[in-house]
Amino acid sequence: MVPVRVLEIEVGEDLVDRWRDWFAPAVQPFRTDILQPQVAAALPIRRVEPTPEWTDTFFMYHGAWTWLTEEEFGALRPSVRRSLRAARRRTVRPKLMPVWPSELARAGDELMFNWVASGAVRPSRHESVASTVWTHAHPVLPQAERLAGTFAVSGSGANCFGTVLAATGLDVSDVLVGPVRFQAWLDEHTEPISGTAFDDQPGVVFAWTEHGDLAHATVTVGDGWMLAKPSQAWSSPRLVNTVREVVTSWRYPDTSLSRYRIVR
Per-residue pLDDT reduced to its tens digit, 140-180: 999 999 999 999 999 999 999 999 999 999 999 999 999 99
Three-state DSSP class for residue 230 = coil
Domain residue ranges of the chain, discontinuous segments joined by +: 4-117, 126-262
DSSP state of 100: -
Q: Cβ distance 83 to 36 under 8 Å?
A: yes
Residue 120 pLDDT grade (very low, low, confident, very high; cuts 50, 70, 90): confident
Beta bridge pairs of residue 218: 206
Q: Give the DSSP H/E element, type plus range, for residue 106.
A: helix 101-107
Q: Rounded to 5 degrees, what are φ and ψ at 113?
A: -60, -40
Specify the pLDDT at position 207: 98
What is the dotted CATH code of the domain comprising 126-262?
3.90.1720
DSSP state of 169: T
Q: Cβ distance 260 to 188 under 8 Å?
A: no
Residue 264 pLDDT grade (very low, low, confident, very high; cuts 50, 70, 90): confident
pTM of the model: 0.93
Beta bridge pairs of residue 262: 190
pLDDT tens-digit profile of 229-262? 999 999 999 999 999 999 998 888 889 999 999 9
Smallest CA-to-CA distance from 71 within 8, 39, 28 is with 28
